[in-house]
A = this chain, B = another copy of it.
């Protein structure tokens, strides 16, 4: 069994868990608090970021999209219909664009700020940057969230899955990001009916189940978080 260093409230880590989950492969999970900057963890990844996969031979593979490419090269390419990537280079580029959208753009404009202010800061010492939430940062992130939900609603309304006709890494990246925001109660699903219909579908998949039982210290999820029909 491979090992994943992760945190349950980071979208990029949820994305990797969903990807292995879709292939029915279990992971040994080690929860890492990245703000602790543990020496042993920095030796695996000098960037200090999550996720890090210890692959075959305990070789560290660093970063969500790097791990996704690795999974595809070593497993996905053999999965035919269940592959989480397209065969065509243009469709592959579209999948990668959307992975980068949700784990890069959505993260840097919305997700990471809400997670830091609302979930991480209360656990961090003042030396580590902890303290009271910055309400201005929360307000900006909440404002930024709307176009991301609108865009997801548009994608879900025009395509069966977000990158096209097949489930792909794009759906897992979007679901990973939105599930973190949903845990925090930040999403008004009724305003985004097409996105909601897509999210119900993906949330019902067996790969999603472990994420629905995630709990983080001192912060309970919104009441509908684990409901498959919300």
Task: Assess the B61–A101 pair: CB atoms within 8 A.
Answer: no
Is A230 in contact with chain B by the CB < 8 A criterion?
no
With a cutoff of 8 Å between Cβ atoms, the chain B residues found around residue A49 in the complex are: 105
Q: A21-65 vs B: 1/0 string, CB under 8 Å?
A: 000000000000000000000000011010000010001011101
Task: Assess the B97–A63 pair: CB atoms within 8 A.
Answer: yes
With a cutoff of 8 Å between Cβ atoms, the chain B residues found around residue A105 in the complex are: 47, 49
Is A218 in contact with chain B by the CB < 8 A criterion?
no
With a cutoff of 8 Å between Cβ atoms, the chain B residues found around residue A151 in the complex are: 46
Is A96 in contact with chain B by the CB < 8 A criterion?
yes
Task: Assess the B69–A93 pair: CB atoms within 8 A.
Answer: yes
Is A194 in contact with chain B by the CB < 8 A criterion?
no
With a cutoff of 8 Å between Cβ atoms, the chain B residues found around residue A66 in the complex are: 93, 96-97, 100
Using CB atoms, name the residue of chain B closest to A56: B90
Using CB atoms, name the residue of chain B closest to A49: B105
A104–B62 CA distance with the chains assembled, in angstroms: 13
Interface residues of A (CB under 8 A from B): 46-47, 49, 55, 59, 61-63, 65-67, 69-70, 73-74, 89-90, 92-93, 96-97, 100-101, 104-105, 108, 151
Mind listing 29 A-B residue pairs with CB under 8 Å?
A46-B151, A47-B101, A49-B105, A55-B90, A59-B90, A59-B93, A61-B90, A61-B93, A61-B97, A62-B93, A62-B97, A62-B100, A63-B97, A65-B65, A65-B96, A65-B100, A66-B93, A66-B96, A66-B97, A66-B100, A67-B93, A69-B69, A69-B96, A70-B89, A70-B92, A73-B89, A73-B92, A74-B89, A108-B108
